[in-house]
Chains A and B, each alone.
Chain A
Amino acid sequence: MKPNDTIAGYLLTLRRRLLLGAETRDRIIAEVEDHLEESARALREAGRTPAAAEREAVARFGDPTRTALRLQAARINGKGLILPLTLLACIPSMAHVFPYYVRATMGSIQRGDASPWSFVAPVALSFGLGFAGGYLLPRSAWRSGGWAGATLVALGTPGAWLRDPWAYRDLILFGPGYAMAVGIVGGWAGGRLRQLVQRVRNRSVRA
């Protein structure tokens, strides 16, 4: 029997795929467990063997990875996530813009002068979005190659730096790419670390 053919195996896989807060994840697992046990009980009463009843119950529930993705989409308010990230990115932007305009008005710098802080806002936004994506997306999304492709594009920018390491324009153009790559990898590592901690905790609970 494959691990995902049993209720315990299915729940373990689902738990690993769910990248949500511990409380929410525990609630979902408890709900699904209750459902699968109820479903298996009904199947046993209909004449299936215990093993066949479990297998059919989990098969009816569907692929655990897909279920986890659906549950995550249902629990996470995407619009709610974008707004704080955008505001976060606006803080350094505004902190830069006001002093810059004051100095430009007073004539100490000319309007249009390049500012070393011009890239802060897009960098912060890119990092935030990358981190959120890396943290929230499950392993299956990484396997699909979408984020891996984005990371490769972002990491491809060293070519421009080798051409002219101190090109300020390149920094503005590619800084956000670097920030997003670092954010994605950081978010992904953070998500995996959390899963690892959860797994160790589960083992200690079972022991």
Chain B
Amino acid sequence: MNSEAMKGHLDALLLAAVERQPAHGYALIERVRALSDGAFLLPEGTVYPALHRLERLGLLESAWSADAPRRRRVYSLTDRGRAVLVERREEWRAFASGMSAALQGAR
């Protein structure tokens, strides 16, 4: 999927990826790619700004991890982030259901 189509969904994808397990940026990109069967290859230069923005909004929190060869910034979901993710999932279900119905009805 191209990066234009990913716009608007990046935050939700990252929140969902972090929800599974706290991780650093590179691992999150790999996780999203694996979870989507290779369909979603996140543009790397846009992932870190999104992570920093989500952290500033209080949806993610981060800390340095020392259990790797290099210091790594590991992101985890906050309670607020978890609540927002639930909302995003509901919105997506409603959107997908509506689109599906509309597209089928147009045939």
Contacts and interface: CB of A to CB of B under 8 A. Distances in A.
A32 B48 contact: yes
Contacts, number: 56
Contacts of A62: 43-46
B26 A74 contact: no
A27 B52 CA distance: 11
Contacts of A60: 44
Contact of A71 (B26, B52, B71): B52
Contacts of B24: 31, 34-35
Interface in B1-47: 24-26, 43-46
A63 B45 contact: yes
A3 B25 CA distance: 24
A75 interface: yes
A73 interface: yes
Interface residues of A, number: 23
A37 interface: yes
Dominant secondary structure at the A interface = helix
A168 interface: no
A71 B73 contact: no
A25 to B, nearest CB: 12
Contacts of A31: 24-25, 48, 72-73
Report, as a range, how many residues of chain B touch the other chain. 10 to 19
A34 B44 contact: no
B107 interface: no
B49 A71 contact: yes
B45 A37 contact: no
A52 interface: no
B1 to A, nearest CB: 16
A27 B26 contact: no
Interface in A36-75: 37-39, 60-63, 66-67, 70-71, 73-75
Contacts of B45: 61-63, 66-67, 70
A35 B25 contact: yes
26 contacts: A28-B48, A31-B24, A31-B48, A31-B73, A33-B70, A34-B25, A34-B26, A34-B73, A39-B44, A60-B44, A61-B45, A62-B43, A62-B44, A62-B45, A62-B46, A63-B45, A66-B45, A67-B45, A67-B49, A70-B46, A70-B49, A71-B49, A71-B52, A74-B52, A75-B52, A77-B56
Interface of B: 24-26, 43-46, 48-50, 52-53, 56, 70-73
